Structure 1
């Protein structure tokens, strides 16, 4: 497993749990920061520097070239984790395969279809 500087900022919402599950399934070591959204902690200035939208989940990481990155929205985070850390395709598929195309369809459906339906 590659080194990881992943920090997950989330709550126990449907979107937040998806990311936690992916991190656990991939065995990626990560730090966890719970954001109690009932107190609007995600709207505090320190978090708005991470995600201007003030929404969870968000992930920070450091790339191999030492560049710090911020990834937000569950679909974007899931895609990032698969591309960055799932070299054995345990939760993803080889880019260009029929399975990868179907995975992208379902990823965007859960993000743009199911997510908004859940509120």
Structure 2
């Protein structure tokens, strides 16, 4: 009895699958109108665009930060930028006409990595523009 059931199922599936193979699906399209369903290509084709590839390479190259360190020049550059910052700050403090001499002196003495004695700070603040 089992062999009859197995044979019937096999025969039924064979008929169903062969019916799908015999009747090829036809695509109904009309000129000027979009297709009613997606039509898939029988194989895939890849196209590598040189223009898009070079654009992507340039964007990737521009996105990478510089990773090198200059040969010992950073110490001098850092010291020079620190000196420029100190002089710029001193110019601002000297130009502040609303602050008292004590306040200006406290500003000058608050500069990081620089120790200024009180008399030197007062002398610096009292210099004329030409002497400064």
Range of TM-score over shorter length? under 0.3
Which of 1 and 2 has higher RCO (CA within 8 Å, sep 6+)? 1
Between structures 1 and 2, the one with greater helix share: 2
With the length of structure 2 as denominator, give the TM-score of the two structures. 0.20
Q: Report the structure, 1 or 2, having the larger strand content.
A: 1
Q: Which has the larger radius of gyration?
A: 2
